[in-house]
Amino acid sequence: MFRRNTGNPVLSEKVFQRDIAEGTGYMTLQGTINKTMLLFLLLLLAASYSWSKFVPAGDGTISAGGTSLMLVGVIGGFILALITVFRPRLSGYTAPLYAVFEGLFLGGISALLETRFAGQNLVIRAVALTLGVFFAMLFFYRTGIIRVTNKFRLGVVAATAGIALVYFFSFILSLFGVGTSFLYGTSSLAIGISLFIIAIAALNLVLDFDFIERAVKSGAPKYMEWYGGFGLMVTLVWLYIEILRLLARFAGRD
């Protein structure tokens, strides 16, 4: 039985352990890869649809239609993520739906920033950098350049939890009109924090690779292939959003 944790909250050890040994068939690495690719195909199709329906206003702000798609994506994605986390057995249904809703949100926010910073090619650069980080982390993991030790795992988990708390408290402060420009501005501090968050998101990919591999070796049930792909997609979406925000910060300083 594997006893490893990951910084990704949807790939926690407890989630896998409580459902192992039931169902038909076992989780395989190839099966997880195939399902992960299918999830991202669904995300890209939904993002393309959202992008095509995005009609920017004259001042570069998002239109009512674009706002609706983004809102549906955010709310629907959040609900489906919770269902998937608490009911992994349903991930074969909820993970594809989550990918669609997340795609609606990403397509809208990407179109918004691409319009606001016309000529900067933010989306293409963000996608390229996200893929580059993904394959770099996969290479580092497979070659053993980065080894997932207990100390490494603990450090990444703690940093990820800290980032989540900072975002949570910044949201609470915003409700009371308290600004958090150090997180969302274009200052050197904001850019430095953004780079740190991107680094932690990238390191979470290494933990995800390690955890999925251990889950496969432990004989996790077949439906966990969907759940493993879902968890990896959560990290990659987070990474893409943070890279896109960083590029927007740089563009905003020009």
Return d(Cα 251, Cα 254) in angstroms, integer: 6
Percentage of the residues of the chain whose pLDDT score is greater than 90: 60
| Count of Cβ atoms closer than 10 Å to residue 130 Cβ | 22
Beta-carbon contacts of 176 under 8 Å, excluding residues fewer than 6 positions away, are: none
pLDDT digit string, tens, across residues 138-147: 999 999 999 9
Mean pLDDT over residues 120-149, rounded? 95
pLDDT over threshold 70, residue 7: no
pLDDT, mean of residues 145-156: 94
70-89 pLDDT, tens digit per residue, is 899 999 999 999 999 899 99
Element (H, E) at 254: none
Q: Where are the domains positioned within the chain?
A: 18-253
Q: Where are the alpha helices (DSSP H) in the chain?
A: 13-17, 29-53, 64-86, 91-116, 122-143, 150-175, 181-184, 188-218, 224-253
Q: What is the average per-residue pLDDT within 118-140?
A: 94
pLDDT at 119: 82
- pLDDT, greater one: 148 or 189: 148
Per-residue model confidence (pLDDT) at position 240: 97
- Give pLDDT, residue 211: 86
Give me the pLDDT at residue 181, please. 62
Residue-wise pLDDT tens digits, 11-33: 555 555 555 545 558 899 999 99
